[in-house]
Amino acid sequence: MTRTQLIIILFFVFNVFTACKDKPSKVKAAKPEPESLKDSIKIDSVVPKAKSEEFVLTEENVIPFFFEYEKELIEDKVKITTNLGSFTLQLYDNVPYHRANFIYLTKKGYFDNTMFHRVVKDFIIQGGNADNLETGQKRQAIGRYLLPPDTRKGYRHDRGTLSMPSSELDNPHKLASPFEFFIVVTKPGSYHLDKNYTPFGKVIQGMDVVDLISEQPVEQGDWPVQNIYILKAEAFK
């Protein structure tokens, strides 16, 4: 090989090597992403989602709510079990808001572990209240509202009648306090209560237990000396 040929070969190899070194790669580098799909799923699974707001009864929505709720009701009786025995209440169909309210609270478990907090011998026993934290929390979760009176259905406050007391706070129209109820024990009845309070049911079984409750000794304010608990309230047809 002559010197000229050798120079030509070396020059050709040098140009090829230089061209290969400077030519950009065809494989594109992966662009960094803020997060992969896997990371996104992982983050979503650990970040708690906002809870849907709990439904609470108010003065504005209570009547529309119970109007619709009552249409679907099949239950018309409630069994009240106390630490002194049990009795059964029949609710009147044509006092719809009071019936619906009582069934609603029963199904919510509101009356469970409340008390007969007012006992007036030969007059009434009144239940649905308690001074424990649990009862206050249940009231708060259900809502704050009153019910309009419904006194013109022909029912009177006979012995064994289930009725609803009115709120004592700024209540000139005798709106009913929905979390409480009373049962008349007077013979034959307490008719001075008519037109002021709403009868919405009656005792159909266990009136002897109601009488037993009414005979318990009380302290000042008509609160029983020994707590009388409602252990369970159950709605049924």
Hey, where are the domains in the chain?
62-236
Q: What is the pLDDT of residues 141-188, one digit of tens each?
A: 999 999 999 999 999 999 999 999 997 767 777 899 999 999 999 999
Give the model's pLDDT for residue 25. Answer: 35
Q: In the predicted model, what is the mean pLDDT of residues 14-34?
A: 38
| Amino acid letter for position 175 | L
Q: How high is the pLDDT of residue 173?
A: 77
Query: Looking at residue 174, what is its pLDDT?
Result: 81
**Residue 123: per-residue pLDDT:** 98
Question: Out of 19-28, 156-165, 202-211, which region has the weakest mean confidence (pLDDT)?
Answer: 19-28
pLDDT tens by residue, 120-144: 999 999 999 988 899 999 999 999 9
Fold assignment, 62-236: Cyclophilin (2.40.100)
Q: Quick one: DSSP state of residue 48?
A: P
Has residue 117 got a pLDDT over 90?
yes
* Residue with token string 């044509």: 94
Residue-averaged pLDDT of the chain: 83
Q: How far apart are CA 148 and CA 62, in angstroms?
A: 10
Distance of CA 30 to the CA centre of its chain: 53
Considering the entire predicted model, what is its pTM?
0.77
CA distance 225 to 117: 10
How confident is the model at residue 53, as a pLDDT? Answer: 67
Strand partners, 236: 77
Cα–Cα distance, 88 to 184 (Å, whole number): 14
Spatial neighbors of 100 by CB under 8 A, at least 6 apart, are 66, 69, 70, 73
175 membership: H or E segment, kind and range: none
